[in-house]
């Protein structure tokens, strides 16, 4: 990952600080800008009543416009929630390390509610994997083959998170 410039730091810092106060579409654009710099997002599926699930997790992702894309094992809760019809999730943008040891620090980051769906188009998956390779270049030699093989054999899925419409 490229080092952050002072300008990017200030822009992202402002977006993170002010983003929580912005309404839906404006916040989504601020989150998308912040996501270009952050190495992690934290995801929690939302129950049918809108409350957060007990499942949380920090994940690698790439941003595509206002969408956030995640590759995950097909048997993990992120994928199972979507399969079960619980496609809404809450996403926090930032890097606070492993969520279980962060003492909830990720909750201080701006959040946005999203709608998850599976991206199954092979050409799009290839482009997303290329973006992962660029973003996570230092780790990609090890993880790239796992992601590619998993998407090919179905043991992994690509999830596209889009800003969820307001209820």
Per-residue pLDDT band at 104 (split at 50, 70, 90): low
C-beta neighbour count of 13 within 10 angstroms:
12
Q: 112 or 118: which carries more pLDDT confidence?
A: 118
Residue 34 lies in a domain: yes
pLDDT at 16: 40
Residue 1 lies in a domain: no
Residue 54 lies in a domain: yes
pLDDT at 26: 41
Residue 126 lies in a domain: yes
Q: What's the mean per-residue pLDDT of the chain?
A: 76
Residue 53 lies in a domain: yes
pLDDT at 118: 97
pLDDT at 57: 73
pLDDT at 13: 42
Range of the domain at 110: 6-163
The CATH number that applies at residue 65 is 2.30.110.10
Residue 19 lies in a domain: yes
Residue 129 lies in a domain: yes
**d(C-alpha 12, C-alpha 92), whole Å:** 14
Tell me the pairing of strands 88-93 and 41-45: antiparallel
Buried b (16+ CB within 10 A) or exposed e, 26-57: ebbbbbbbbbebbebbbbbbbeeeeeeeeebb
**d(C-alpha 94, C-alpha 128), whole Å:** 20
- Flag the least confident range among 6-10, 27-31, 37-41: 6-10
Q: How many domains does the chain have?
A: 1
């Amino acid at each position: 990952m490229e080092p952050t410039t002072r300008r990017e730091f200030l822009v992202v810092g402002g977006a993170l600080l002010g983003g929580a106060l912005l309404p839906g579409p404006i916040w989504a654009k601020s989150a998308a800008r912040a996501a270009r710099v952050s190495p992690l997002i934290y995801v929690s599926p939302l129950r049918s009543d809108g409350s957060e699930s007990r499942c949380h997790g920090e994940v690698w992702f790439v941003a595509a416009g206002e969408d956030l894309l995640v590759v995950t094992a097909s048997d993990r809760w992120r994928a199972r929630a979507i399969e079960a019809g619980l496609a809404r999730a809450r996403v926090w943008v930032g890097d606070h390390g492993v969520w279980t040891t962060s003492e909830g620090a990720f909750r201080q980051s701006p959040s946005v509610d999203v709608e998850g769906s599976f991206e199954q188009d092979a050409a799009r998956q290839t482009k997303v994997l290329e973006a992962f390779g660029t973003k996570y270049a230092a780790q990609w030699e090890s993880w790239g083959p796992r992601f590619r093989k998993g998407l090919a054999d179905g043991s992994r899925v690509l999830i596209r998170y889009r800003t969820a419409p307001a209820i």
